Structure 1
Amino acid sequence: MAQDWSDVIKGEILARNPEIASINKQIHENPELAYEEYKAHDDFVSILKSLGFDVTPRAFGVETAFSAESGSGGRLLIFNAEYDALPGIGHACGHNLIASSSFASFLGVAAALKASGIPGRVRLLGTPAEEGGGGKLKMIASGAYKGAAACLMVHPGPGHNLSGSIRGVSYVRMLANVKMRVYFTGRESHAAIAPWDGVNALDAVCLSYNAISMLRQQIHPYERIHGVFRSAGDRPNVTPANCCVEYYVRSETRSGAERLWQRVLKCFEGAALATGCEIRVEPLNSYADVRPNVSLCKAYMDVMPEGTVSYSEPADILAGSTDMGDVCYECPGFHGVFGIGTKEGEANHTKGFAAAAGTDDSFERAKECGMGMALVGWKVLSDDEFAEEMQKEWEQDMKLAAEGK
């Protein structure tokens, strides 16, 4: 019986190739920044409605989010469709492929629910602004993931980092990320006539930058600190009175990232003290660490073509941060990675990666992953024993997370 529904899932995804390919192409060719993904939102809503799904546009209080659902009763399964791009380099993180794979998964599971008549619900969420905007954080706050049995998505990564027949990695940890904007306020003066009257905010910026650079020698290999100057003065002959920097601080866990931030904060406070500046810290949308559910990861490996998915090697294939980490604190989560046809130096957030994300081969790989996720999702909805095991594992992991482990 289970095989019959598996065939339904695969058949539906193959039959809906035109719709999935259309979404993939439209998103890649029309890159939109965080919270500006109006075309992607409207295209998704239009296609889903044309296929007969119940769709909520502008869902969960986010203008460019949507929610589509199928089925009734039972457990709730969620797939995330991301579609925001990066400034200047378009879909250099391949969110068109994320959207396509999740769309395929949703269609496959929805078809199986309809054909089988079993209790269960599948939801496709359009989740804007992953690239620093924290779209999922707003959706979590509005209840988008409340009561979910699991949430799944896959992310493209640099294929040149994979070897042999391996095309993807199932268990992928990603770092927690504390994001802060820091303002230094000094006092203007004429830099030539009366420099002694000024309090130089740019000096505070430079002192903090150098202090943080020294701090990097005493942090763990998996930790990261990086920042940019948002404003650093206007004219050389005016002592800068208002300067701003923005920093990301990453570590293995949410509590670890917060501890590291406290060390970085001392660099800013010390620079302010040394220069006589005032300091103000503005928290941005910080991301939790991705904590994959082992049961989901193993199930994904079981349904993918043999020998094509590694469990956890290479561990650093996608060593950044994402708001999917916060979803993993809401319900059991899966955030696997699949490689696309990149060359050396074309990892995520490069123009080369953006070009690779638009190829037919990358789309086919995304669709293959979408089929795998659909089969795992079906197991979540139809296999009570598996769902119970998955839930118990997640509850235990959340206890470890609360302990900072």
Structure 2
Amino acid sequence: MIKADVIEEVRGVVGLAIDDADQDLKKKINQELHQHPETGYQEVFAHDTITQFLEDRGFAVKRGTYGLATSFEAETGNSGRLVVICAEYDALPQIGHACGHNLIATSSIAAFLGTAEALKKSGAAGRLRILGTPAEEGGGGKVKLIEAGAFKDGVAAAIMAHPMPAHQISGPNAAESYDGLAGLKMIASHKFRAEFRGKTAHAAGEPWNGVNALDAAVAAYSSVGLLRQQIQPDERVHAVIEVGGTVPNVITDYTRMNWNVRSPTIARADELLARVKACIEGAATATGCELNYIVAPTYANLTANKALCEAYASEMERIGDKILLRNDKAVTASTDMGNVSYVIPSFHGAFAIPAPPNTSLHNPGFTAAASTDEAHERALRCAKGMAILAVRVLLDEEFASEAAHDFEHRHEW
């Protein structure tokens, strides 16, 4: 266990390092990313901006890592346990950083800088890596990074945190307000596209010679709409028609739908997926269309690590933040960090930022909230807690073993 005087000294080093970088992080990372939103696997500006920022601070950065053009990594230390701090930076189409990934990048980079300085000053063994993880918004960047070996290098813990509207973090007593959440839980999600292929014909002159792919898409959408009456309250199914045809006087011969099928666990998500596919396949049969699935990476449900969550909550409370230890009921949203939480001990907390009432993630109102000075301040406060958490994993053998034990034996905490 780290001695009290040592951890107190570490807190000072971490706090000073992050405070010193505050304005640079705000201007060169947070604001720049917010003003230049990019969707998954297209985050060229974000990739170049972040890697240049790290290189300017003396870190050797690898660009385009693990076969992904917009992934990167930088590492410090050359022996001992390895902690990975994950950074996200992709945005949503049309509504920009409505999930606040500009703040995730800011907090993760700040945590990396603070931990790196503490590790350097301590002179102790330990390896710290920041990993750029593109395309969290549906592209499954972390799933691809797992498959490419990014988390196979004896990683003791992966750490990151996500912004949330303050009014959406609530405990058993709804009247209580919290500054953050340690054990954030999210549900599993199957993601796929369904293509329907029919046959074109003149819609007025000879409609009987056509096979209408738009009818198939509409029938699939309607059938799943009816299915929703018989699914569990904590399950979700949603879709959009990405390609729906061209002009009304031509029978549509091709449509494409984009689907999410979500449930609290992978096992339940698999069962729900089978029911949804029965609706889709029934629509293809009814209309005479050919059906093809394009499958995207599945997101596992995000699990919480007890040791890591308790340590983070305790640390944040030292600096005056009230942290909800965990949400017993999973948030009905999904993240590819869930897949990481099944591979290694993981921390994926949440920090509260001010947002207007009735404003949630993936809402233009949250895009605006993610650009405020208050949100930036909250991101850096969270970064200090994550940095101390990383230091404890690196330097405290007993604590690292406890986190590993919780991962192996209490995965569903």
Q: Report the counterpart of residue 388 of structure 2 in structure 1.
A: 375
Shift of 1:192: 2.0
What is the TM-score when the length of structure 2 is the normalising length? 0.92
Residue 118 (structure 1) shift:
1.1
One-letter amino acid of the counterpart of residue 208, structure 1: A
Q: Is 1:19 aligned with 2:19? A: no
SS of corresponding position for 1:304: helix
Note the alpha carbon deviations across 1:359-388, whole angstroms, 9 max, x for none.
111000000000001111111111111111
- The aligned counterpart of 2:284 is 272
Q: Distance in 1 between matches of 2:53 and 2:70?
A: 15
Q: How many residues align?
A: 399
How far did 1:394 drift?
0.8
Match of residue 38 from structure 1: 44
| Structure 1 stretch displaced more, 279-288 or 66-75 | 279-288
Match for residue 7 of structure 1 among 6, 12, 30: 12
1:322 partnered with 2:329: no
* Paired residues of 1:172 and 1:315 also in contact (CA < 8 A): no
Q: Which amino acid aligns with 2:349?
A: G
Write the letter of the residue equivalent to 2:159. Answer: L
Report 1:5-404 matches (<5 A).
Answer: 5-21=10-26, 22-146=28-152, 147-162=154-169, 164-305=176-317, 306=320, 308-313=322-327, 315=329, 318-397=331-410
Supply the AA of the counterpart residue of 2:128.
V
For 1:245 and 1:128, how far apart are their aligned partners in 2? 23
Moved more, 389-398 or 201-210: 389-398
- Output one character per residue of 1:22-71: Cα deviation in whole Å (capped at 9) or x when no partner: 31121112212212222221121112112111211112221111101111
User: 99-108 or 227-236, which moves further after superposition?
Assistant: 227-236
- Supply the distance in 1 between the matched residues of 2:117 and 2:94 (Cα, whole angstroms): 39
Q: Equivalent residue for 2:3?
A: none
How far is the alpha carbon of 1:134 from its aligned partner? 1.6
Question: 2:259, 2:95 → 1: CA distance?
Answer: 21
Q: 1:252, 1:76 → 2: CA distance?
A: 30
Distance in 1 between residues matched to 2:188 and 2:274, nearest whole Å: 14
- Give the drift of 1:164: 4.4
- 1:239, 1:75 → 2: CA distance? 61
What's the offset of the Cα at 1:218? 1.1
Counterpart CA distance in 2 for 1:130 and 1:186 is 33
Other structure's SS at 2:239 match: strand
Partner Cα distance (2:128, 2:280) in 1: 47
Distance 1:323 1:333 in 2: 12
Structure 1 distance, partners of 2:262, 2:362, is 17
In the alignment, the residues of structure 2 paired with residue 258 and residue 35 of structure 1 have an alpha-carbon distance, to the nearest angstrom, of 27
* CA-to-aligned-CA distance 1:152-193 (integer Å, 9 cap, x gap): 111011113345441111111111110111111222222222
Name the amino acid aligned to 2:326: S
Q: Distance in 2 between matches of 1:91 and 1:195?
A: 44
Question: Which residue identity is paired with 1:311?
Answer: L
Q: Distance in 2 between matches of 1:275 and 1:257?
A: 27
C-alpha displacement of 1:79: 0.7
| 2:8 partner amino acid | Q
What is the letter of the counterpart of residue 204 of structure 2?
Answer: A
**8 Å Cα contact 1:165-1:307 kept in structure 2:** no
In structure 1, stretches of 5+ residues that fail to align are: none
List gaps (5 residues or longer) in structure 2. Answer: 1-5, 170-174
Q: In the alignment, residue 223 of structure 2 is paired with which amino acid?
A: A
2-structure distance, mates of 1:194, 1:49: 65
What secondary structure, in the 3-state scheme, does the structure 1 residue paired with 2:400 have?
helix
Per-residue CA deviation, residues 308-349 of structure 1 (Å, 9 max, x unaligned), is: 111234846x53111111111221111111111111232111
